[in-house]
Amino acid sequence: MAMAYVTLADLRAVIQESDILDLVNDAGTATDLTDPAVALILAEVFDQASQEVDAHLAGVAEVPLATPPKIVRNLAARIARYRLYQRRPNLGDIIKPVAADYKGAVDLLAQFAAGTLTLPGTVNGQPIVAGDSGLSVASAPRRFGDDFWRRMG
């Protein structure tokens, strides 16, 4: 499995926990999201969403992203939500807004892939190293350096 960009907390930010349980409780016996069968389904959905994100970003960044920015986690959560709804094709029109949101997430990923947008924390697809702001500062030599003050003292 690839590194998952989405966690249960990320998914809860885009869908209510009760809805998550309804979408993954295939046997109808799970009472919460800690049920092993439910956890297995969620892990698979998270992996699918993360792989889809990686497929889009592979041309502009080294994947998997070591530290995915919040926007990547949010996009992966939106993709995961759509994948959960796809598991219940009998829901009919209920899935339309979720499908539209999925399309929006994929369109945003396509903008990253095309270079129209840049991933936060990267420059030309490469991670920004701590302390590397890309800013260079030059100044005149010090006039009152250590030698000056020693002579004065």
Question: What does the domain layout of the chain look like in residue ranges?
Answer: 8-152
Q: Which of 107, 117, 102 is nearest to 61 (CA)?
A: 117
* Predicted local confidence at residue 141, as pLDDT: 67
Q: Provide the whole-model pTM.
A: 0.79
Quickly tell me which residue has 């502009």 as its tokens.
Answer: 60
Q: CA-CA distance, 117 to 114, in Å (whole number)? A: 8
Over residues 64-73, mean pLDDT: 93
Mean pLDDT confidence for 26-41: 95
Q: What pLDDT is recorded for position 49?
A: 98
CB distance 47 to 1 below 8 Å: yes
pLDDT of residue 85: 97
SS3 content of the chain, % helix, strand, coil (to 5): 55, 5, 40
